[in-house]
Structure 1
């Protein structure tokens, strides 16, 4: 995933977090962050990316709940991508309104390219999805 510093907004901050072999790039903000911190037993310092990872882990480990249920409880303007190195799972999502720019495409070698900058996708993939 590529993050462009052009048009970077304080309204949609970006963070990268790695916890327990789970990588998360999070852009945006959660309106219900205090509620989510309490629900997952996290400290006040827990960022949105940390919360998303904890929510993903909780649902992943409680089969048969699919990990995509994590988005259901998030309220705000956001986009994120998670890579779980233990299960080789890639999970990406954004809020219902698509408030935060988040495009993706397939490179010629078959790899997935994600970015908030459509120019990067066009140059790397030739198309945007």
Structure 2
């Protein structure tokens, strides 16, 4: 079954996560520089997934569901690198890193299923207009 609003869900999630993290980073820039740096880094990573989606569109043999998963997997090594940096420098994960991971991962992991759900494809035309 073809769902014309699949990409709309991904774009909505990525733009929302980027906005939330950037607003948090801007609010925290003067008092909490380490929080600011981590939020900006993860916000930038939220923009990697849409770009990665365009890279993976041409891979033969992968169905669209697998392509969506691959697009998000591209950014996870960067999250792991941030966590390793925190662990090496601080001996623990920075609270901003934990907050970012807790915010980003559930939305991105669930996106592949929500984007194809009948629920999303039923309400999407009312939110964004007809395809």
Structures share fold, TM-score greater than 0.5: no
Comparing both structures, which one devotes a greater share of its residues to strand?
1
| TM-score, normalised via structure 2 length | 0.30
Comparing both structures, which one devotes a greater share of its residues to helix?
2
